[in-house]
Structure formats: C-alpha cells, structure tokens
Amino acid sequence: MDAHREASTTMAVSSPTLLLLSLLLCSHLLLASPAAAPLAGELLGAARAPGFAAWLRGVRRRIHQRPELAFREHRTSELVRAELDAIGVPYRWPIARTGVVATIVGGGGGGGGGPVVALRADMDALPVQHYEIGRTWLHGKGANRLELVDWEYKSQENGKMHACGHDAHTTMLLGAAKLLQDRRGDLQGTVKLVFQPAEEGEAGAYYVLQEGVLDDVSAIFGLHVDPVLPVGVVASRPGPFAATASRFLATVTGRGAHAAKPHQAIDPVVASSTAILSLQQIVAREIDPLQGAVVSITFVNGGNAYNVIPEYVTFGGTLRSMTNEGLSYLMKRIKEIVEGQSAVHHCTGSVDFMEDIMKPYPAVINNEWMYAHAKAVAESLLGEENVKVAPKLMGAEDFGFYAQSMAGVFFTIGVGNESSMVTVHSTHSPYFVIDENVLPIGAAFHAAVAIEYLKKHASA
C-alpha cells in the first residue's frame, strides 16, 4: 500500500511503473481476499458438525478395514462411487483401471462455463502388516513384544494396511465433495475430484492423465497426512517440494568357479563390490552439496554356497534428486559406473531402470501462484500461526505428474496428537495412526481452495 501511494503522488514515476505497481497490488489483494475467512469458517463449521464428522469417521474406518494395493482398489472404488451417488455427484469410472473422477459443475459459471480446478486423493494401501507395541511381563520384568493392533477398525486384510494415510485422503475428498455439492449453485466454474489409484510406486497419476479426463483442468490441489505436524497445522513451500525418484537393478556377470580356484573364475562379487563403492562417490563428489540427491543401494544378491564363486550378482536401489535434470544425471552416471567397473574386472554389467513398469516420479514442484493461493486459504481456515513452511522432502509423490501438466500445489496436513499417542510413528510404519479430527479440516481445506480459486479466475 505504501509503495502504491508513493507512486501515485510522485510525478517522477513513469506510467509503466505505475501500471506494474497497480497490478502487483491487485494481485496481492486477490490472493488475500477478505471473503475467504468467513467462507473458510463456514466450511469448517459444516464439516465439524456432529453428523458430518461422524460420517467422515465412518467412511475412513470402512476404508481402513479393507485396504487394497495399487490398481486393485476395487472395494475402495465401489465405496467412493456409492458415496458420490448418495451425495448426487456424477463421475466417470473406471479411470486408470480403478480410479474415479467426479465432476461438480457450478451454477454461478453459466452452466458449465468458467475455470476448471481439480482436487486429488490417492486410494491405495501398502503391503504392511498392522502391528502395535504391547507389554508383557516375564519373571517380574517388563519386556516389549509385538502384537496385532487390537482396534475395532484395524485392517482385516492380512499383510495390507493403510500405513500412509490414503484412507484419510480419500475420506477428506469425499467430504469436500459433499461440501461443494451443497454449494454448487454458487460455484463460479467446475471442480473435478480425482480419486486416484496406485500412488505407491505404480505411478497412478501418470495413467489418470493419459485418460484425458483432466485435459481441461488449469490447476490442481492435493494433501498428504503428516504425523509430525499436530492436527490443525498444515505445511508446504513454493517451488521444489518433494524429490523425483527412480529405481534400478544392476546385473554383473562373470564366470563361476570353485572358491578354491579363484583364478579360474571371473569374479562378479569383487566387480559388484567396487561398483557399489564407486556409486557412493556420485553424491559425495559430483553433486553440489547444496542440491539434494540420493543414491542408495538397498539389496545385493549373489550365490548361495560358501565354496562357489557365483556366475553373476545383482544389486539395486533407489536414486533421487530435487530436480528432474538431476535424476537424469544420476541415471547416466549409475549406468556408466556399473558398466565401467564391470569391464575393469573382465565382467559385463548392465543396468535396468524399469521405466516401462515403474515410471520414475518427477519432482513435485509447487506453482508459486497456487502455493500463495492455498496458503492464503489455509491461513483463513486455521490462522497464520498454523500454516508452516515445510522443508524439502527426499520422499517422492506421483502428484509431480500433475504438477508437470498444470499449475499444482501440494500441502501436508497434520494428523499427530501427542496427548493421545504414546509415540508418533511415521508413515509406512506398521504402527502408524492418525487423529481423525483431521478429517473435517482436510475436507474444508479442499473445498475452500477450489471455491476461492474459481472465484478469483472467474472474476479475472
């Protein structure tokens, strides 16, 4: 405001400068719309109403009891469709085999005109067994033991669990659908709700985009639970947020022989060992220390006899970078090092990045305008003190595929509660739990981001 006032009263300032300052001021006012605060409060109040909150908890618990792995979310997809039918929201199915994309067309945008914004939730679970830490007594001394979680709504599927919170993500988006459908007459455009399969390693987002159902979408918003943050707190950052990631399988082939006659062998174990050690130098000596990068070898397989040098060794792991260009460099160097070190030891080496069946995840790069928009909405919903700047994450998320195709922003949302949780466990842990009070917050956050986005772009 001060800069604008000074510009308008100082004759020395040029007309182009006045125009630029005026545009910047209008942009700031647009992001910080005063109408957002009462709207956010109304949405959160509606989502926290006893009947609504109980419905959210019930949906989440039903999903939690029947976890399904990537591209096999048949019951979950059926539940989503049944709830959408009950709400009265039309949808397309199947999308990317088990996915659902619902559409709410606003009445305030001229019967289908206006901007289109998307909200996304993932539906798949993990191959994790549900456990808790119990306590047993042996000869008067306490000892820890592992027990199956004794919770009424625990996973009923052996070896499968919603250990990454996708049950909560799906529930929150269904809650947003209900809030938006109740207000569809006031929407200044169209909202698409993406219930996505196969986020966990199978690149479900890529296949959703291939279907073409989001071709008319200009922006997309997503949430992910975070047990480190308490309920009522959200976090994100502009620009690069989560890493790009890929996997690799290396095979080093030599010639096997009896271990008593190593001179008759071409030893792939030694060649693999030197290659693995050399791979550690990529991040240590070739990557700028201020740039995030990871090359981790997570398994090595060779022979199974004590007195036989094997014919071949396989090893593999993960590679990650905060930029897509950085991942390409890591892939190039891993291939060069494995092939080169194998050749030095008279072996042959090959690397498979399995890109056809395990697509590399692009980095999640938050659009700066969308980040500022969602941040302003979150502040109106939860207060400025509860909207944090998140650190960059070396974890990967296939939301990056959406962010490559349209203006995207991804936030984390707190599900921790130290007063009710003995220990806060991370995602992918068999002990992972959430505070279900997050469900109304996530539903309202989704809905408010969409409503405010449509308002701003309809007026623009």
pLDDT, one tens digit per residue, over 212-229 is: 999 999 999 999 999 999
Neighbouring C-beta atoms of residue 160, cutoff 10 Å = 20
For the chain, the average pLDDT equals: 89
Question: What would the pLDDT profile of 143-170 be if each residue is shown by its tens digit?
Answer: 444 445 557 888 999 999 999 999 999 9
31 contacts 372 by C-beta, under 8 angstroms: yes
Nearest to 250 by CA among 184, 158, 175, 312: 312
Look at residue 131 in the predicted model and tell me its pLDDT.
63
Average pLDDT over residues 408-417: 96
Give yes or no for residue 10 having a pLDDT over 50. Answer: no
Look at residue 356 in the predicted model and tell me its pLDDT.
87
Res. 4 pLDDT band, cuts 50 70 90: very low
Is pLDDT larger for residue 98 or for residue 21?
A: 98
The token duo for 434 is 């959430």
Q: pTM of the full predicted structure?
A: 0.86
CA distance 306 to 309: 8
Give yes or no for residue 136 having a pLDDT over 70. Answer: no
250 contacts 295 by C-beta, under 8 angstroms: no
